[in-house]
Each structure stands twice: as structure tokens, then as C-alpha cells.
Structure 1
């Protein structure tokens, strides 16, 4: 994770879409490719260790075949997870949010059935994401992750574009989400510390002890209404 304490790093591109032609593809990957590859290698190494440990134990008790089968049962899913993590890319084209791993899933944010804020808590690192569901597909877009007083956030241009897309929906919940992102941009422009930024503060509202939880729309609306 990059970004100094109290001054989170940003990822994303800058520039403006052209006056004509297809919509600009805006990368929305929170972590840079090098960091993602490093994390994927760690998952792969962990998968081999776990598979070897369980496979070896079962092999001692039940023979070589049983050990190999056990190793495969534990190792293959984790290795697939590592490969998926390494291949994962997220981007926005117009209002269409896409994520690619083994295949590509797309959700049009303008026509999505639901948009929620999802907070995940893993080993002291909280990730605040936009959970979009539509067309029997779902995508969790990480907006920011924080550990202690530092973290990583999407860049200015991606956040601004997302705010505009959400505002174009016109419903109260989407407008509140758009205002949340605009407030985040203002805090970043002021040079606010991580703990004073809206996404950090919103993520802190989620009770600890749960791996993942959606924040209620009314709670988000109240939070946004209290922002400066």
C-alpha cells in the first residue's frame, strides 16, 4: 500500500474525453499493477504452503493418492484466486463499469438496479467500495482503502467522472453518493489528512468485526448532509 500517513496516494489517469468518438476508457484500478502482482504472488505462495501442509498430512495417513487429492482440493482454488487477482482490471467507459478477470462483467451505472457503499475489513485494512448491481451482474469498485492513518484512493479524474455519472441518475441515493465523492475531492484539494476525508470517515462508521457490510442509504444521506 502506498501513501504516507495522513496523505493517501492516488491512482488514476488525468485528461478529458475527446469531443467525438467512443467514450474514453478510464482505469479504475485502486492498486498499481506491480502491487497487484506482488499480492498475487503472496497468495500463490500461501496456496502452495497450505496445499503442501494438508496434502502431506493426509498423505502420511491415507497414502500418496489421498495426499495429492487433498493438496489439489486446497491448492487449486487458492491458485485460481491468485491468477484472478493478477488479471483483474476495472475501468469505466461512459456510464458502463467493467471488470475483467477470467471473463468480463459489466454494469451500466445509469441503469443499475442498486448502488450501495460496501465496507470490507481485512486484517486492519478497510476498503470503501461502490457496490453496483444490474443485469444479474454485480461489481464492487474499490474507491479507497485505509490502514491506520494512511491509505490509497482513486485519483481525482476517476472520482470526478464517477460523481458526474451518479448525479446523472437523478435519484436521491445516487445524488447522495455523488455528493460524497465531490466532498472527497474537496477534502483532497484542501490537503486534508486521511482521517478528515469523507471516505475514511464513512468507512469508520461501519462496526468492526464484520468482513463485509453494506451501509444503509439513509445513513449515507445523513452523513453527507453533515459534511461541510
Structure 2
């Protein structure tokens, strides 16, 4: 089956700026640390050590920013595959854990589903909201993900499938973001927490209330 991208639309310019900022931050931190180490040592050997330390820190920052920019998430049948430098996958049919996460960073709330199989864990972003608008996973991706969740052996799979189907129905009706299930879940989560898990019972009750 064709691989379906699982990525919320982003502005490439913003992503590029973020990567550049991380890279520049790495260069700055590396330079400062290298200078401090060199001054403390007060010798040619110390200066060399400082420069090596700076180079290592810069390399680490650049690697992190490069990997973040290359992260790709796809759904292949019922398997979610995350690729960065390497790859890992979770077959939703045999997932050990399926949880809903809501994070709140500077007024932007991100709704995602955490899936795990053994030691492999993947976080799938479903929507990002700010104010009364936001960005959401595409219709095809939501539909395929809902089907894959419905095939899961995990008890939460069917509930999450129903949640995504309800989101699709709201989009098909042309309802504004505040009327859509994912937005309502994000808005209902308590404020003041950077990231929080919503219990399976809470999600089940919410989905039941949509009928």
C-alpha cells in the first residue's frame, strides 16, 4: 500500500529559520565554551582543547538541527514509520500503548497521539492550534490513520478511530476549528502544563459525547 505522509502542514520558511537559529546557536555556544576552556588552561594545549571542544559542540548542534529537518513520518498500511538518521516503526495492529497528548507552548496547543510497540515509541502530531485557528493533519492521512486504528488489537484503537472519524465529519461539514473535536480536546486540557497525557477514560467519554 502507498505510504501516506503523516505531517501537519508547516511553513517551510519558518522551518528553515528555526534550523538556522539552532545552527547559529550551536556555533555561538561552541565558540564561547572553547574560548573559556582555552583561557582557563592558559596554554597552547589548552587553546587546542578549547577549539576541539567548540568544534564538537558545533557539530552536535548542526547534527540535531539537520536531523530535525529531515524527520519524516509515514503510514504504510497499518505501520507508522519514523525516519531521521535511521528509522523505527510501530504496527498499530499490535501497539502496546495508544495515548493522547496535548502540549501548550507559548499559546500554541499541539494535539498528538503517542503509539508504542515494545521499546519503540512514535509521536504523531494531529493538529496545532493557536487562538481560533490552526493547522491539522490532511484528510487522506486522517482517513488512513482512522482505518489503521480501527484494526488495532489495543482497546483504545477503536476509540481513537472514532475520534478521527468525527474530526473528518466536522471538516466535511465545513465547521470552524472551535467546532472540531481535536480543537475541543486541546481547549479542554488544563492550562499551565507544558505537556500532558489525557487518560483513555477521558478520551472515551469525550468521543461518546460527540454522538
Tell me if TM exceeds 0.5. Answer: yes
For residue 47 of structure 1, the aligned residue among 21, 26, 30 is: 26
Q: Would the aligned equivalents of 2:128 and 2:136 in 1 still touch at CA under 8 Å?
A: yes
Counterpart position of 1:24: 2
Counterpart position of 1:3: none
Counterpart position of 2:142: 159
Provide the C-alpha distance between the structure 1 equivalents of 2:63 and 2:93, rounded to a whole number of angstroms: 32
Q: Deviation at 1:212?
A: 2.2
5 Å-filtered alignment, 1:151-190, equals: 151-169=134-152, 172-190=155-173
Unaligned runs of 5+ in 2: none
5 Å-filtered alignment, 1:90-101, equals: 90-101=73-84
Unaligned runs of 5+ in 1: 1-22
For residue 198 of structure 1, the aligned residue among 166, 172, 181 is: 181
SS at match of 2:89: strand
Provide the C-alpha distance between the structure 2 equivalents of 1:88 and 1:33, rounded to a whole number of angstroms: 15
TM-score normalised per structure 1:
0.79
Matched, 1:89 2:67: no
For residue 219 of structure 1, the aligned residue among 202, 205, 211 is: 202
Q: Deviation at 1:71?
A: 3.4
Q: What is the RMSD computed on CA atoms of the aligned residues?
A: 2.3
Structure 1 stretches of 4+ with a deviation exceeding 4 A read 57-63
Q: Would the aligned equivalents of 2:94 and 2:153 in 1 still touch at CA under 8 Å?
A: no
Query: 1 or 2 for the larger relative contact order (CA 8 Å, sep ≥6)?
Result: 1
If you compute each CA radius of gyration, which structure gives the higher value, 1 or 2? 2
Provide the C-alpha distance between the structure 1 equivalents of 2:83 and 2:144, rounded to a whole number of angstroms: 20
TM-score normalised per structure 2:
0.85
Q: Deviation at 1:24?
A: 1.2
